[in-house]
């Protein structure tokens, strides 16, 4: 997810917190909106949100570190998620992931130094008909073989 | 309302969408305009037809012609031939071979077992209506059940119909829905909630996604009915963030229903109020567990709560709450409209109605099917699913995801319902059905699911946090050829402890894949441990490649392909593989034209 707001500009985060403050159970939507804008939930951002919500920052930190969707560090502009759900796994999606690791010279869960790609192994994406599947941001690629990878990466 | 002589239904479910069905839609719009047909022919983007393996799918009415694997470049021909000249485009029509008779014949979609053996209740509108248009839902009796409930039934009537219907929770546990509702109705509280669990996390399950994408209004209508029955005025639907199309369509559906006065204040002028909110998950499998889901809706870490108190008494924000799964809700309006008897005339003694299964893995017709409870696995896999690709042998079907188990060949004729699946060590689960063939290693499958659970365990209770980790370590060792005598017994002991002492369903059911593979494929475990051999040839560390001297022509093709120069020999005499150097990549085997290289 590409970031749209400078990570140092905390006013946007504060505004999001104020907008949702009165919604019961607002923490999840606030963290989701904030990460959408900043691309991550840095400690400073969490601190700003906690101030606005008048809750200890530890409470936000607890939630932010529980869910795999939230990230404390900036991710790449393009998030590559290779499905390792059962249907894809039995159709050899591990080979796809290995190929991506090789081509990007990147370990799973890490981001390239230029912040272009983040490589992740994801849970079932629910399009098992196309197994093995990967997603790059919102684009789904199905029926993959390792030979397809180079051409797909070249598009980005 | 405009009259169209023909309708073109194009699947825009996730499967077909990823296969670029959006380009087909655009192309149809262009071509219709070009031929001046835009007022005669209507394009309807629909939800999933179920046959994802043959996608993208286009169906043209009134002929009911089922086109499969359509590409954008096929569209001009479809428009010119079918829509202008009235001639079906034979080469794109979905057909399947029927070789049961003396002569093989080609069957049209409506005549295939895939179509005939199904009975669509929950999926009734998927692939039939445009999910983004409330009028199409209403045209197929949409919101009629809600009207019936609000204007002519008491909450007790509604609960009685649900109880009589015998509908049980489709999320996996199979608790009777009517009974659940009656608990929440009886609970005292100034505020009550209804909630929908759309956090479909089981790998290989995509029925809830398809319902939300294909027929979102049926879930909204059912939630409003549930709210009326228990006395709630607010609802939450908790959807995985990984399902962007489903989230978007559901939001559109909520907005349209609100605009029509079917959500909000004073619905049907009866004084009944109901509002619905969407909450997004954030990638935690445990949030599919009901109490964890409620914590997540409240904005907390998605850790389960001890039960009792049950959600019917203390749910979201500690208020009485009814929580059902998407597929369960999708059945509700049909039961109200057609009556409990209509529903419970289908199915087995204790499991009524139909069940949606997501067929995946090594099966020809990958997709979504809905069959009466009690249909055998053999019918689902061979008649509807079209069997196993590449003439491979069926080995097992996995149901229930990481909480379920494997069904081996000897149980292929078991009628599938909640009780019978439980009796053979598996479970219904949400309906993911992954087919495995002879090349899949069952120890590796058990390891795969345990790895999933270790990753997704929330860590609140030590039995799950530590127990699953220890089980995974043992399974990894076995798959790497480092298994020891006594490992199987250790796995069984850990499994027993987890089952009896974990806090929530995730931990209690986590050992199931191990236990069921041990039950049916113990010999595979033993081969790994005692003979350091993987019978399926799947565990790479246990593989070795050999050249059969009799078949080797000494062409050296394999030696040239080998990335680590592990193959040596003289031209025109048999080559050999140095097993110390071999990295087991399999490149040699793919290269050999004489089938002289075997996995051992």
Determine, yes or no, domain membership for B172: yes
Nearest to B166, CA basis, from B337, B320, B328, B321: B328
Which of A66, A127, A130 is closest, CB to CB, to B302?
Answer: A66
Long-range contacts, B557-560 (Cβ 8 Å, 24+): B557/B591, B557/B592, B557/B593, B558/B587, B558/B588, B558/B589, B558/B591, B558/B592, B558/B597, B559/B588, B560/B591
H-helix or E-strand spanning residue B353: none
Q: Are residues A52 and A87 in the same domain?
A: no
Domain boundary residue among B116, B149, B176?
B116
Angle between helical axes of B244-259 and B216-230 (0-180°, round to 10):
60
Q: Is the distance from CB of B598 to CB of B548 less than 8 angstroms?
A: yes
**Which B residues, 305 through 334, put their C-beta within 8 Å of a C-beta on chain A?**
317
Q: What is the CATH number of the domain that holds A87?
A: 3.40.30.10
**How far apart are the C-alpha atoms of A52 and A36, rounded to whole Å?**
19
Q: Are residues A86 and A150 in the same domain?
A: yes
The C-alpha angle with vertex B170 and arms to B495 and B195, in degrees rounded to 5, equals: 105
Determine, yes or no, domain membership for B79: yes
B540: DSSP letter: G
Mean pLDDT score, B7-11: 94
State the ipTM, two decimals: 0.85
B55: chain A residues, CB-CB within 8 Å: 129
Q: Are residues B248 and B172 in the same domain?
A: yes
B586 or B333, greater pLDDT: B333
The C-alpha angle with vertex B303 and arms to B298 and B308, in degrees rounded to 5, equals: 90
Q: Are residues A147 and A83 in the same domain?
A: yes
Q: Are residues B195 and B287 in the same domain?
A: yes
Question: Mapping DSSP to helix (H, G, I), strand (E, B) and coil, where does residue A50 land?
Answer: helix
Determine, yes or no, domain membership for B176: yes
H-helix or E-strand spanning residue A151: helix A149-154
Determine, yes or no, domain membership for A2: no
Q: Are residues A102 and A34 in the same domain?
A: no
Per-residue pLDDT reduced to its tens digit, B213-246: 999 999 999 999 999 999 999 999 999 988 888 9
Per-residue pLDDT reduced to its tens digit, B248-282: 999 999 999 999 999 999 999 999 999 999 999 99
Q: How many CA atoms lie within 13 A of B529 on its CB side?
A: 16
Q: Distance from A139 to chain B by nearest Cα, in Å?
A: 7
Mean pLDDT score, B364-386: 93
The answer to whether residue B152 scores a pLDDT higher than 90 is yes
Determine, yes or no, domain membership for B349: no
Q: Are residues A102 and A149 in the same domain?
A: yes
Which of B284, B298, B360 is closest, CB to CB, to A131?
Answer: B360
Mean pLDDT, rounded, of chain B: 93
Q: Distance from B113 to chain A by nearest Cα, in Å?
A: 19
Per-residue pLDDT reduced to its tens digit, B510-519: 999 999 999 9
Determine, yes or no, domain membership for A4: no
Q: Distance from A63 to chain B by nearest Cα, in Å?
A: 5
Q: Distance from A90 to chain B by nearest Cα, in Å?
A: 6
Q: Are residues B427 and B449 in the same domain?
A: no
Q: Are residues B154 and B234 in the same domain?
A: yes
Q: Are residues B453 and B550 in the same domain?
A: no
Q: Are residues A55 and A83 in the same domain?
A: no
The answer to whether residue B108 scores a pLDDT higher than 80 is no
Nearest to B113, CA basis, from B353, B365, B354: B365
Q: Are residues B592 and B520 in the same domain?
A: no
**Which B residues, 262 through 301, put their C-beta within 8 Å of a C-beta on chain A?**
279-285, 296-301
CB-count exposure of residue B155 (10 Å: 0-12, 13-18, 19+):
middle
pLDDT at B100: 60
Nearest to B293, CA basis, from B316, B277, B273: B316
Q: Distance from A120 to chain B by nearest Cα, in Å?
A: 13
Q: What is the CATH number of the domain that holds B507?
A: 1.20.1440.230
Phi and psi dihedrals of B407, rounded to 5? -110, 115
Range of the domain at A140: 78-154
Q: Distance from A124 to chain B by nearest Cα, in Å?
A: 5
Which of B300, B358, B445 is closest, CB to CB, to A128?
Answer: B358
Phi and psi dihedrals of B495, rounded to 5? -60, -40
Which of A63, A69, A89 is closest, CB to CB, to B300?
Answer: A63
Domain boundary residue among B530, B555, B585?
B530
Q: Are residues B91 and B188 in the same domain?
A: no
β-bridge partners, B322? B194
The answer to whether residue B1 scores a pLDDT higher than 70 is no
Determine, yes or no, domain membership for B539: no
B366 at the A interface (CB within 8 A)?
Answer: yes
CB contact under 8 A, B284 and A27: no
Nearest to B10, CA basis, from B53, B51, B59: B59
**Which B residues, 423 through 462, put their C-beta within 8 Å of a C-beta on chain A?**
432, 434, 436, 440, 445, 448-449, 452, 458
Cα four-point dihedral sign B23, B26, B32, B35 = negative
CB contact under 8 A, A86 and B244: no
> Cis omega before residue A132 (within 30°)?
yes
pLDDT at A1: 47
pLDDT at B374: 95
Per-residue pLDDT reduced to its tens digit, B551-581: 999 999 999 888 888 999 999 999 999 988 8
pLDDT at A137: 85
Q: What is the CATH number of the domain that holds B565?
A: 3.30.70.20
H-helix or E-strand spanning residue B111: none
Determine, yes or no, domain membership for A114: yes
CB contact under 8 A, B17 and A140: yes
Determine, yes or no, domain membership for A93: yes
A141: chain B residues, CB-CB within 8 Å: 18
CB contact under 8 A, B317 and A25: yes
Q: How many domains does chain B have?
A: 5
Which of B203, B317, B432 is closest, CB to CB, to A123?
Answer: B203
Buried b or exposed e, range B357-381, using 16+ CB within 10 angstroms: bbbbbbbbbbbbbbbbbbbbbebbb
B70 or B17, greater pLDDT: B70
B56: chain A residues, CB-CB within 8 Å: none
Q: What is the CATH number of the domain that holds B156?
A: 3.40.50.11540
Kindly state the greatest CA–CA separation across chain B.
91
List, as one string, the DSSP characters of B2-25.
---SEEEEEE-SHHHHHTTHHHHH
Q: Which two tokens stand for residue B151?
A: 């204007």
Q: In sequence order, what E strands does B264-404 have?
A: 264-267, 272-280, 321-325, 354-361, 367-372, 394-399
A66: chain B residues, CB-CB within 8 Å: 284, 301-303, 458
% of chain B residues with pLDDT over 90: 80
Distance in angstroms between the alpha carbons of the first and the last residue of chain B = 68
Q: Are residues A96 and A139 in the same domain?
A: yes
pLDDT at B95: 79
Q: How many domains does chain A have?
A: 2
pLDDT at B105: 65
Q: Are residues A52 and A94 in the same domain?
A: no
Which of A26, A123, A142 is closest, CB to CB, to B18?
Answer: A142
CB contact under 8 A, A124 and B203: yes
H-helix or E-strand spanning residue B41: strand B41-46
Which of A62, A70, A129 is closest, CB to CB, to B53?
Answer: A129
Q: Are residues A46 and A109 in the same domain?
A: no
Q: Are residues B473 and B428 in the same domain?
A: no
Determine, yes or no, domain membership for B160: yes
Phi and psi dihedrals of B321, rounded to 5? -140, 140
Q: Are residues A62 and A28 in the same domain?
A: yes
CB contact under 8 A, B52 and A128: yes
Question: What chain B residue is nearest to A35 in terms of C-alpha separation?
Answer: B282
Q: How many residues does chain B have?
A: 600
Range of the domain at B455: 442-530
Determine, yes or no, domain membership for A71: no
**B203: confidence class by pLDDT, cuts 50, 70, 90:** confident
Question: What chain B residue is nearest to A136 in terms of C-alpha separation?
Answer: B18
In this structure, of A109-118, B99-108, B324-333, the range with the lowest mean pLDDT score is B99-108
**How far apart are the C-alpha atoms of B144 and B150, rounded to whole Å?**
10
CB contact under 8 A, A25 and B298: yes
B352: DSSP letter: B
Q: Are residues A111 and A148 in the same domain?
A: yes
Q: Are residues B330 and B394 in the same domain?
A: no
Per-residue pLDDT reduced to its tens digit, B292-319: 999 999 999 999 999 999 999 999 999 9
Q: Is the distance from CB of A80 to CB of A118 less than 8 angstroms?
A: yes
**Which residues in chain A show pLDDT less than 50?**
1
Q: Are residues B198 and B333 in the same domain?
A: yes
pLDDT at B101: 58
List, as one string, the DSSP characters of B205-270.
--HHHHHHHH-HHHHHHHHHHHHHHHT--EEEEEE-TT-HHHHHHHHHHHHHHHHTTSSEEEETTT
CB contact under 8 A, B360 and A86: yes
B367: chain A residues, CB-CB within 8 Å: 129
Q: Are residues B447 and B426 in the same domain?
A: no
CB contact under 8 A, B300 and A27: yes
Buried b or exposed e, range B585-600, using 16+ CB within 10 angstroms: eebbbeebeeebbeee
Distance in angstroms between the alpha carbons of the first and the last residue of chain A = 13
CB contact under 8 A, B280 and A28: yes
A25: chain B residues, CB-CB within 8 Å: 279, 297-299, 317
pLDDT at A125: 80
Determine, yes or no, domain membership for A16: yes
Q: Are residues B234 and B366 in the same domain?
A: no
Domain boundary residue among B421, B437, B453?
B437
**B106: confidence class by pLDDT, cuts 50, 70, 90:** low
Per-residue pLDDT reduced to its tens digit, B486-504: 999 999 999 999 999 999 9
Determine, yes or no, domain membership for B150: yes
**B473: confidence class by pLDDT, cuts 50, 70, 90:** very high
Q: Are residues A50 and A102 in the same domain?
A: no
Q: Distance from B366 to chain A by nearest Cα, in Å?
A: 5
Q: What is the CATH number of the domain that holds B418?
A: 3.10.20.600
CB-count exposure of residue B101 (10 Å: 0-12, 13-18, 19+):
exposed
Determine, yes or no, domain membership for B107: yes
Q: Distance from A118 to chain B by nearest Cα, in Å?
A: 16
CB-count exposure of residue B483 (10 Å: 0-12, 13-18, 19+):
buried
């Amino acid at each position: 997810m590409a970031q749209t707001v400078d990570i140092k500009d905390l006013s946007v985060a504060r505004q999001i917190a104020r907008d949702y403050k009165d919604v019961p159970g607002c923490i999840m939507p606030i963290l989701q909106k904030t990460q959408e804008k900043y691309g991550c939930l840095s400690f400073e951002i969490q601190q700003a949100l906690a101030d606005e919500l008048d809750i200890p920052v530890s409470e936000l930190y607890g939630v932010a570190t529980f869910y795999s969707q939230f990230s404390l560090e900036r991710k790449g502009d393009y998030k590559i998620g290779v499905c390792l759900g059962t249907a894809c796994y039995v159709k050899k999606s591990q080979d796809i992931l290995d190929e991506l690791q090789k081509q990007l010279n990147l370990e799973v869960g890490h981001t390239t130094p230029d912040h272009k790609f983040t490589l992740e192994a994801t849970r079932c994406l629910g399009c098992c008909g196309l197994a093995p599947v990967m997603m790059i941001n919102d684009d789904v690629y199905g029926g993959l073989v390792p030979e397809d990878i180079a051409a797909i990466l070249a598009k980005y | 309302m405009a009259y169209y002589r023909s309708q073109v239904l194009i699947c825009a479910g996730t499967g077909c969408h990823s296969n670029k069905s959006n380009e087909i839609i655009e192309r149809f719009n262009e071509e219709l305009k070009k031929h001046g047909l835009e007022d005669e022919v209507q394009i309807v983007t629909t939800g999933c037809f179920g046959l994802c393996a043959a996608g993208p799918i286009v169906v043209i009415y009134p002929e009911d012609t089922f086109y499969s694997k359509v590409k954008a470049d096929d569209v001009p021909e479809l428009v010119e031939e079918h829509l202008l000249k009235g001639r079906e485009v034979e080469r794109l029509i979905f057909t399947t071979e029927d070789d049961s008779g003396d002569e093989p014949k080609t069957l049209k979609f409506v005549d295939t077992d895939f179509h005939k053996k199904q009975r669509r209740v929950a999926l009734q509108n998927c692939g039939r209506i445009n999910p983004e248009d409330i009028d199409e839902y209403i045209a197929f009796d949409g919101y009629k059940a809600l009207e019936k409930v609000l204007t002519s039934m008491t909450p007790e009537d509604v609960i009685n119909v649900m109880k009589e219907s015998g509908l049980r929770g489709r999320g996996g546990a199979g608790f009777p829905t009517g009974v659940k509702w009656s608990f929440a109705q009886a609970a005292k509280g100034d505020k009550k909630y209804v909630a929908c669990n759309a956090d479909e996390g089981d790998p290989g399950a995509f029925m809830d996604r398809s319902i939300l994408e294909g027929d979102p209004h049926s879930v909204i209508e059912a939630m409003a009915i549930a709210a009326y029955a228990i006395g709630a005025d607010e609802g939450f639907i908790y959807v995985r963030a990984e399902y962007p199309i489903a989230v978007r369509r559901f939001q559109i559906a909520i907005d349209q229903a609100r605009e029509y006065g079917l959500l909000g204040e004073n619905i049907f002028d009866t004084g009944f109020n109901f509002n619905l909110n969407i909450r997004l998950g954030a990638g935690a499998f445990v949030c599919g567990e009901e109490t964890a889901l409620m914590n997540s809706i409240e904005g907390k870490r998605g850790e389960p709560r001890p039960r009792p108190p049950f959600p019917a008494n203390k749910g979201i924000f500690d208020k009485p709450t009814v929580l059902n799964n998407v597929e369960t809700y999708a059945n509700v309006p049909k039961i109200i409209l057609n009556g409990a008897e209509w529903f419970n005339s289908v199915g087995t003694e204790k499991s009524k109605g139909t069940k949606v299964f997501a067929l995946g893995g090594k099966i020809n017709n990958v997709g979504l099917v809905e069959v009466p409870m009690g249909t055998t696995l053999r019918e689902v896999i061979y008649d509807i699913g079209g069997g196993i690709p590449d003439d491979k042998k069926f080995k097992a079907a996995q149901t229930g995801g990481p909480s379920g188990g494997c069904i081996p060949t000897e149980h292929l004729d078991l009628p599938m319902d909640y009780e019978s699946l439980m009796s053979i060590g598996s479970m219904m689960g949400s309906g993911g059905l992954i087919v495995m063939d002879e090349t899949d290693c069952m120890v590796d499958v058990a390891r795969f699911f345990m790895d999933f659970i270790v990753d997704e365990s929330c860590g609140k209770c030590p039995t799950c946090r530590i127990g699953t980790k220890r089980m995974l370590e043992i399974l990894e060792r076995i798959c790497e050829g480092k298994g020891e005598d006594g490992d199987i017994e250790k796995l069984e002991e850990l499994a027993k402890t987890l089952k009896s002492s974990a806090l929530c369903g995730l931990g209690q059911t986590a050992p199931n894949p191990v236990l069921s593979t041990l039950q049916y494929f113990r010999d595979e475990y033993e081969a790994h441990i005692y003979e350091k051999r993987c019978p399926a040839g799947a565990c790479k560390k246990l593989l070795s490649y050999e050249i059969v001297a009799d078949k080797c022509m000494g062409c050296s093709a394999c030696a040239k392909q080998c990335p680590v120069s592990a193959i040596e020999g003289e031209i025109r005499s048999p080559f050999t593989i140095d097993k110390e150097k071999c990295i087991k990549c399999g490149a040699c085997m793919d290269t050999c034209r004489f089938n002289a290289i075997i996995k051992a």
